[in-house]
Amino acid sequence: MTAERLESPAEHEDSGRNRLMNDRALQSLLDDAAAELGVVGAQLAIYDGSRLREFATGWRHRELDLPVTLATLFQIGSTTKLLNAALIMSLVDEGVLDLDTPVIAYLPELRLASLDAQTSVTLRHLLSMSAGLDNGPYHDYGRGDDALGRSVTSLAGMPHIFKPGTAFGYSNAGINVAGHTASCVARRSWESLLAERILQPLGLGQSAMFAEDLLGHPVALGYVLRSTGEPAQRMVGWSLPRSIAPAGGTLCCSAGDLVRFACMFLHGGQSETGGRVLSEAAIGIMHTPQIKLPTELMAQHWCLGPYRKQWGGHMIYGHSGTNLGGSSMLLWCPQKRIAIATTVNVSNQGYPLAERIFDRVFPELFNIDKPKAPNVTELAESFVPDQRVFTGRYEALGAVMRIEVRDGSLFGLFESDILRTLGLVYGLESELIFLGNGRFVPRNPEFSGNRCWDVAFWDETGSGRPTHFLNGMFAMRRTG
């Protein structure tokens, strides 16, 4: 189902090489991708260097026949981390926070399992995913303003993965510490700060966090696709808790608002109306790579908030995310002055839908060559040197990865309490196809939650035997 357009497609037909990517073609692309992937409702928003183009398809509430419109709000999950980073950088601009001062200077009560990390972790480490904190728990501490602080307090006994600044490991817990730091120094709730410093100045009126605020908007209910060929089922529960709000627990947005946010990075920190939200220096800092990833398919570097990857000689920045009932992806390219976002209400199909759309839009509309995902069939015969070096047990909080050899092939067996929290399959396994340099791609796409990412091993001791495993973005330490 096509949502009503704010402007007539006939008013904005593209010419030259973009002729095939007019509004009618983009609407069909979204419609077709959603139908093929079993997505109940979705949005697509594009800033093409001169104007914002928005599209919608399907239902925000299938059982009541309520269609998705351009104003529908979707759960965006971890894409929230970009807005959290911008919020923190606004305080850095004012001199209230410093990226390289140990966080314990702002949070004297901070307690971590590693005393070295406790006294040395900085906001730069936290925002660049190089702090070494475990991904952490998703415990619900209620709706009170103390929820985030209680979540941070609970990290005291959580095992540390690696020394701060030495490696990459995606951490929701780390982002919550960063968000709590901002909240404490400003003496305001994190939600209030986000609204006052980011949402309102940028005119993001299609964004909300609390249920009482969501009631003023059309909101997409969540679904999950449990079996190919069968209709998606309603998701039990609403969203992740307020206690992990900075990491992506509560924020809902339209795809259009995500692109409006990204345009701040294209316009040197200014809003659509010319108001200053961040300094040009802050935008430059947020675009500067901080840590190199051992994996490459999701991104090659992490900056202060966004990840960075290179497509066709162009630097692409962004983030993506998944919550219980929704998924989003936001990318932008400063060199081309373009941005694109997708939102869906089928949590485990957000990444596949984005990939299908980006495979067409980047080369045909933006003239950027987007790499294709590796073909696992073609890679199946690749030689894996010293397979048994990788075998063993790797752990993170609530998660175990067992790597073993079967009939000459390397396999990963993954069990996670977080998967159970998200209502997904508790245990997953896949053959791991060798890519080189300690990198593998899972044959089973569900192993990565349909995120199309690779996995990698690394050794921090120089012994030649991996000490860590990176499951796409989540770091795990060897325990056996």
Of 328, 357, 372, the last residue of a domain is 372
Q: Are residues 361 and 473 in the same domain?
A: no
CATH number for position 211: 3.40.710.10
How far apart CA 82 and CA 328 sit, in angstroms, is 12
pLDDT in the model for residue 422 = 54
Model confidence band, residue 479 (pLDDT cutoffs 50, 70, 90): very high
Q: Are residues 355 and 464 in the same domain?
A: no
Q: Are residues 318 and 415 in the same domain?
A: no
Q: At what angle do helices 23-37 and 350-364 cross, to 10 degrees?
A: 150
List, in order, residues 6 or more apart from 13 with CB less than 8 Å away.
19, 22, 23
Planar angle of CA 161, 184, 253, nearest 5 degrees:
80
Q: Are residues 298 and 427 in the same domain?
A: no
Q: Are residues 219 and 157 in the same domain?
A: yes
Q: How many domains does the chain contain in total? A: 2
Q: Please state the pTM of the whole predicted model.
A: 0.93
pLDDT > 50? residue 1: no
Q: Are residues 311 and 184 in the same domain?
A: yes
pLDDT > 50? residue 82: yes
Of 337, 372, 407, the last residue of a domain is 372
pLDDT in the model for residue 17 = 45
pLDDT > 80? residue 7: no
Reported as a single tens digit per residue, the pLDDT across 282-341 is 999 999 999 999 999 999 999 999 999 999 999 999 999 999 999 999 999 999 999 999
pLDDT > 70? residue 426: no
Q: Are residues 396 and 328 in the same domain?
A: no
Q: Are residues 450 and 368 in the same domain?
A: no
Which neighbouring-strand residues pair with 52?
47
Of 328, 351, 372, the last residue of a domain is 372
CATH number for position 380: 2.40.128.50
Q: Are residues 467 and 358 in the same domain?
A: no
Share above pLDDT 70 across residues of the chain, in percent, rounded to a whole number: 92
How far apart CA 190 and CA 184 sit, in angstroms, is 9
Model confidence band, residue 10 (pLDDT cutoffs 50, 70, 90): very low
Report residue 400: phi and psi, to 5°. Answer: -135, 135
Which residues span the domain enclosing 413?
A: 376-478
pLDDT > 90? residue 65: yes
Q: Are residues 288 and 341 in the same domain?
A: yes
Reported as a single tens digit per residue, the pLDDT across 344-379 is 999 999 999 999 999 999 999 999 999 987 777 776
Q: Which amino acid is residue 3, in one-letter code? A: A
Model confidence band, residue 57 (pLDDT cutoffs 50, 70, 90): very high
Model confidence band, residue 140 (pLDDT cutoffs 50, 70, 90): very high
Q: Are residues 246 and 132 in the same domain?
A: yes
**Burial grade of 163 (CB within 10 A; 0-12, 13-18, 19 or more):** middle
Q: Which amino acid is residue 432, in one-letter code? A: L
What is the rounded average pLDDT of the residues 420-443? 79
How far apart CA 26 and CA 46 sit, in angstroms, is 10
Give me the chain's average pLDDT, please: 92
Q: Are residues 272 and 287 in the same domain?
A: yes
Report residue 34: phi and psi, to 5°. Answer: -65, -45
pLDDT > 70? residue 201: yes
